[in-house]
Structure 1
């Protein structure tokens, strides 16, 4: 069995961690105002999509009930 150099593995882990830390420093975080606007947009679209799904489901159920009663 080959002997693994633990210091080389440790060095790679540290190098990776330094790279991750450097990338986190480069992130441009959105402002609170931007986050609230995006949250409002997501909630609005979600509610509208949910209502459309309910209407389509209700309408299709009524149509199926009508067709089966003929």
Structure 2
């Protein structure tokens, strides 16, 4: 046998079970109460609507500008 075929195996560290780690991390989560969840959801919807309006206004202005330049 050549030296390349003789590979010494080093001892590996013991494996931690994946789902035990997931369970431990889930215990650290602080879930929001209903009031906080409602307030944050309303804020997300409001900001999304406002950003949609702003983006559509910019789109209309850009379209008007392109049409003005190409006429």
TM-score, normalization by structure 2: 0.69
- Unaligned residue ranges in structure 1 (runs of 5+): 1-10
**How far is 1:17 from its partner?**
2.2
TM-score, normalization by structure 1: 0.70
Q: Cα deviation per residue 1:34-64 (whole Å; 9 max; x = unaligned)?
A: 1111111111111111111100110111111
Name the larger-Rg structure.
Answer: 2
Give the aligned length.
Answer: 58
- Unaligned residue ranges in structure 2 (runs of 5+): 1-13
Q: Secondary structure at the match of 1:29?
A: coil
**How far is 1:24 from its partner?**
1.3
Q: Which segments of structure 1 move beyond 3 Å, counting only runs of 4 or more?
A: none
Distance 2:55 2:36 in 1: 28
Larger fraction in helix: 1
**Alignment counterpart, residue 44 of structure 1, candidates 35, 43, 46:** 46
Distance 2:31 2:44 in 1: 18
